[in-house]
Each structure stands twice: as structure tokens, then as C-alpha cells.
Amino acid sequence: MLDAISAPLASFLRGFYEVLPLACLSAAAFDAGDLELAIAGLDDVDVDDWRAHCEFSGGYDADAPAVAAFWAFVADLPPEKKAKLLQFVTGTSRVPAGGFAKLQGRDGVDKAFELRRRPGGDAAFPVAHTCFNRLDLPEYSSSDVLQRIFLALLDGDVLGFSDD
């Protein structure tokens, strides 16, 4: 199989490295998520649309204080951080062509973004389930704690793994 794709792959890579030289990619220490952002660009993440197409579970609803703090935090993020957060919770930094109403799960079927309550309070970290467009959000004691934890997460590797 490798023989069948080696020539087309070599052609693709020659063209790709003309646009983004390997030395630049290596020097910039791009990971897969950074490369996706660089190639695909940033779509405008419409927080109102995202919120309007959100479901809740685990004891959360649209009026829960932790949910309100989360959406306030998201609304205040600059566009590149909104894209990183979207990448963290859905596996892609881009909004579907039809907006958040057309967000899909791992099987290609429409699957709304979901906020689920996670136990642990201030001692717990948020956990993303990208196949299910779900964020398990701890009920933090304040919006300051939520902001501190999410900013640290977004400044790091959004493609990382959880502890459970």
C-alpha cells in the first residue's frame, strides 16, 4: 500500500513545504492543533449560537451559576482562545458550516454541545469528551477559579489527556 501512495504523498509534501517550510514548522514547535489553526484559519466562534445549542446534564441547567460563569468566561475570550477552547471540547477549532446546530458527534450524527456537572469543586479539572462534544465542568467556588483553571488549560496543550 505504501508503494501506491508514495509518489502522490511526495508531491503533496513538496507543495506543502513550499508553503510552510519544515524548518519553520520545527522552529515554531507546531503541534497538530496549532497546525490545524494555521492552515484552517479561525472561524468566528459565535458564543450566543454555542450557548443556544447547548444541552445540560448531571444537575446543571442554563441557570446554574457554574454554567453562567463558564459562558461569561467564553464570551470574554479573544478569538484564538475561543478556537482553542472549541478544539478542547469538540476536537476541532472550526464551527460547522451550519453553526452549532450542526455540530456532529463521532458517528457523524448531529450532537449538541453538552455541559455536565463534574464533582470535585475547586480540586477538579474540566474533562472534555470530544467524541461526544461534552465538557464535564466542575462547580467552582467562583468565576475567578474557573477563569484561572481554564486560562492555564488554554495556555497549554488542549489536545492532552485527562486523568480518568
Q: What positions carry a catalytic annotation?
A: 131
Residues in the chain: 164
Report which residue type is found at 128.
Answer: A
Count of CB atoms within 10 A of residue 18's CB?
A: 8
- Nine-digit cell string for 93: 477549532
The count of C-alpha atoms lying within 13 angstroms of the C-alpha of 60, restricted to the half-sphere facing its C-beta, is 25
Chain centroid to Cα 88, Å, comes to 3
The count of C-alpha atoms lying within 13 angstroms of the C-alpha of 85, restricted to the half-sphere facing its C-beta, is 25
61-81 burial: b if 16+ Cβ within 10 Å, else e: eeebebbebbbebbeebeeeb
List the strands of the sheet with 127-129, edge to edge. 54-57, 113-118, 134-138, 127-129
